[in-house]
Amino acid sequence: MVKTKTILIVDDEERTRQGLKKTLEIWGDGRYEIYSGSNGREALEICRKRRVDLLITDIQMPEMSGLQLLEALREISQEPVVIIISSYSEFEYAQRAIELGVKNYLLKPISKKRLTEAVEQAMEVVQSQERAGFIDKVVDKSLIEVNTEDTASTPIKEAMAYIQENINGQLSLRDVASHVHLNPSYFSALFKERTNLTFSEYVTRKKLQNAKKMLLTTNLSIEEVAEKVGYQTGKYFIKLFKDYEGTTPSKFRKTASSHSI
């Protein structure tokens, strides 16, 4: 579920503000939602109502400076990628801007070419951050630990590969043990020894990891997601999801989607 990226331009000089907005609207060709504010307080109100991916703000503004705006945004958990624009080149401004995570610092007057280049670079940063955030939301850290440790035992590696190939189906310990030619009881003990997870927990985490990806990237219903990852009933899937993730699939989708993707 790809969302349109949002750009907010903040400058107390109306001519500059409107010029920047028009340039980016032409450049963006409808790909972005572009808003503008005449001062920091107005910008802060906009940010309270919607997520902003890229903030382009002047430093010197009445009531609330651009740097004060960035500090205020942190307090409401909004940390967009930032481009500072200013008529001033004093070192202390640039230094503080860097401390606040500013990605670019443009001095007025700004050419259309320089502006669009800076915005293109900033949007690459936005995409990179979103990919990292998506991975963090979806990937199960317990599975990372299993996959990065040396599982030495060839039968366990074969079992994990078989599980991966058949993860959306019905997987039983007996079937997987048979596939790697081991006694089920011995296989169960060996799997736990090598992975620090029981067979059942490992399979469940793999299925839920796939489910989280579907919840964030498709419009499938909870029941459809449950079926696709191999659960016969949505009710059982919801229970498992809540047990492992601490929230329901629908709440996970709503919360995670409101902050990314």
What CATH number corresponds to the domain at position 229?
1.10.10.60
From 5-14, 151-160, 175-184, the region with the lowest mean pLDDT? 151-160
Q: Which two tokens stand for residue 220?
A: 């499938």
Same-domain pairing of 83 and 40 = yes
150 pLDDT tier (thresholds 50, 70, 90): low
Same-domain pairing of 111 and 182 = no
The average confidence (pLDDT) of the chain is 90
Contacts 24+ apart (CB under 8 A), 121-128: 122/54, 122/81, 122/83, 123/5, 123/53, 123/54, 123/81, 125/81, 126/5, 126/53, 126/54, 126/81
Q: Which helix (H) or strand (E) holds 37?
A: strand 32-37
Amino acid occupying residue 204: T
From 49-53, 219-223, 227-231, 253-257, the region with the lowest mean pLDDT? 253-257
257 pLDDT tier (thresholds 50, 70, 90): low
Same-domain pairing of 145 and 128 = no
Q: What is the pLDDT, as a whole number, of residue 77?
A: 84
261 pLDDT tier (thresholds 50, 70, 90): very low
149 pLDDT tier (thresholds 50, 70, 90): low
103 pLDDT tier (thresholds 50, 70, 90): confident
Same-domain pairing of 245 and 149 = yes
Same-domain pairing of 115 and 201 = no
Residue that terminates a domain, selected from 73, 106, 132? 132
Same-domain pairing of 121 and 156 = no
Domain CATH for 62:
3.40.50.2300
How many domains, the chain?
A: 2
Residue-range definition of the domain harbouring residue 186 = 141-257
Residue that terminates a domain, selected from 132, 156, 188? 132
CA angle 174, 179, 180 (to 5 degrees): 100
pLDDT higher than threshold 70 for residue 239 = yes
109 pLDDT tier (thresholds 50, 70, 90): confident
Same-domain pairing of 167 and 113 = no
Same-domain pairing of 114 and 208 = no
Q: What is the pLDDT, as a whole number, of residue 115?
A: 95
What is the sign, positive or negative, of the torsion defined by CA atoms of 102, 104, 107, 112?
negative
Going by C-alpha positions, the residue among 210, 197, 124 that lies closest to residue 166 is: 210
pLDDT higher than threshold 80 for residue 51 = yes
From 32-41, 151-160, 201-210, 221-230, the region with the lowest mean pLDDT? 151-160
231 pLDDT tier (thresholds 50, 70, 90): very high
| Residue that wins the pLDDT comparison between 156 and 257 | 156
Rounded average pLDDT over 75-92: 83
Number of H helices, E strands in the chain: 13, 5
pLDDT higher than threshold 50 for residue 174 = yes
Same-domain pairing of 150 and 74 = no
Q: State if pTM tops 0.75.
A: no
Same-domain pairing of 249 and 156 = yes
pLDDT higher than threshold 70 for residue 250 = yes
Q: What is the pLDDT, as a whole number, of residue 59?
A: 87
Residue given tokens 């490992």 in the structure block: 202
Going by C-alpha positions, the residue among 207, 218, 229, 224 that lies closest to residue 257 is: 218
pLDDT higher than threshold 80 for residue 260 = no
Same-domain pairing of 157 and 192 = yes
Same-domain pairing of 155 and 95 = no
Residue that terminates a domain, selected from 132, 161, 177? 132
Q: What is the pLDDT, as a whole number, of residue 44?
A: 93
